Amino acid sequence: MRSRCLHSVYFAAGQRRQRGVHSYIRGSVPALWHNMIKYYLAPLEGITTHIMRIAVHEVFGEGICKYFTPFFSPQTKRHASSYAMQGIRPENNEGIYLVPQMLTDYAEDFLAFEKDMRAYGYKELNINLGCPSGTVVSKGRGAGMLEYPQRLDYFLEDIFAKTSASISVKTRLGLHDEDEFYRLMEVFNKYPLEELIIHARVRDEMYAGSPHRDMYLWAKQHSRNRTVYNGDVFGPGDEMSDNGPIEDTIMLGRGMVADPSLARQLLGGERASKEELKEYLRMLRERYMARDPDERHCLEKLKEIWAYMREQFPDRDRDIKEIMKARRLEEYRIAADRLMR
């Protein structure tokens, strides 16, 4: 069964209460929805900013139940006025349920982050155990933590001994080989995770090849925690494994950047109309400009989105090229308008 998200009863911690349903505001998903297929928006650093998240929510409605911030590291945290920190402020995330994500291999860092986030009203947090970047992995962080299950166990033990937040983990299947996940599952099963979000690839695969959906089904069967599938869902049917449909909550990443109506479609709704796409792009353009009047920065952000959205326009290479080479916002606007005509 697929579920539309009931935003009237399910919104960011620390936000204005709506329609007298505050009994649900505990930072976790109401039990009622646990058996339904839901969709989350994955964190994509530099792309799923608060500006993008809110535009998706305002234009494409209620398909996404949970949004995750791109990862914070102890370094990001120090710059309280930074763009990333603006992205956490409840007033910049009105109407959505947001889960802040942290990337660290020190329990103390995580607990300090938890304290900061609590001040903003967030009671659910996510730990990044999937980042494949060389500089992160070489320091034993992100997917680098998966190489040492014992260390990971101590890290989670320290956190769970002291935390009062709901904590989910976003992981890969291992560093080099999916068989590593058998041992990792023993570790995850020791802790009461809010949920275990699995990007069904190992670190060495980065984003190439097909996700190991069957391994995900194994994980779903053997996890004591609720699982969430992530990886290569770009359209209806992509949730199929060799052994049948995944039938679980699904976190959508690049597919939602390419087509922000994807969750709605997976719920049986319409594809984005041109009018909706125009409105979405207008919001992004105006809000990025309002944040930073240097149009080069705004163009960078828009082009990052178009690098994925272009998939929707396979026969419009010339117009896409115009968009990607625009050096002024006005050139960009004209090219994007032409494409949407």
Ligand X SMILES: Cc1cc2nc3c(=O)[nH]c(=O)nc-3n(C[C@H](O)[C@H](O)[C@H](O)COP(=O)(O)O)c2cc1C
Q: How many residues bind ligand X (CB under 6 A)?
A: 20
**Does 128 sit near ligand X (CB under 6 A)?**
yes
Q: Which of 252, 262, 320, 335 binds ligand X (CB under 6 A)?
A: 252
Using CA atoms, how far apart are residues 108 and 113, in angstroms rounded to an integer? 9
- For residue 129, the one-letter residue type is L
Cβ nearer to ligand X, comparing 206 with 290: 206
- From the list 233, 262, 326, 336, which residue makes contact with ligand X (rule: CB under 6 A)? 233
CA distances from 185 to 32, 106, 179, 228, 296 (A): 26, 20, 10, 14, 45
Closer to ligand X by CB, 169 or 217: give it: 169
* 212 versus 254: smaller Cβ distance to ligand X: 254
Q: Which is nearer to ligand X, 44 or 334 (CB)?
A: 44
Residue 44 binds ligand X (CB under 6 A): yes
| Closest CB 303 distance from ligand X, rounded Å | 13
Q: Which stretch binds ligand X (CB under 6 A): 1-9, 226-234, 289-297, 321-329?
A: 226-234
Nearer to ligand X, 50 or 319 (CB): 50
Helix 274-291, helix 50-60: angle, nearest 10? 150
Amino acid identity for residue 341 in this structure: R
Q: What is the DSSP string of 37-94?
A: B-EEEPP-TTTS-HHHHHHHHHHHTT-EEEEEEEEE-HHHHH-TTSHHHHTT-GGGST
- CB of 88 within 8 A of CB of 33? no
100 binds ligand X (CB under 6 A): no
Contact between 307 and ligand X (CB under 6 A)? no
In the numeric block, which tokens belong to residue 15? 């936000």
Q: With H, G, I as helix, E, B as strand and everything else as coil, classify residue 209.
A: coil
Residues that bind ligand X in the complex, under the rule CB under 6 A: 42-45, 47, 70-71, 101, 128, 130, 170, 199, 230-233, 252-255
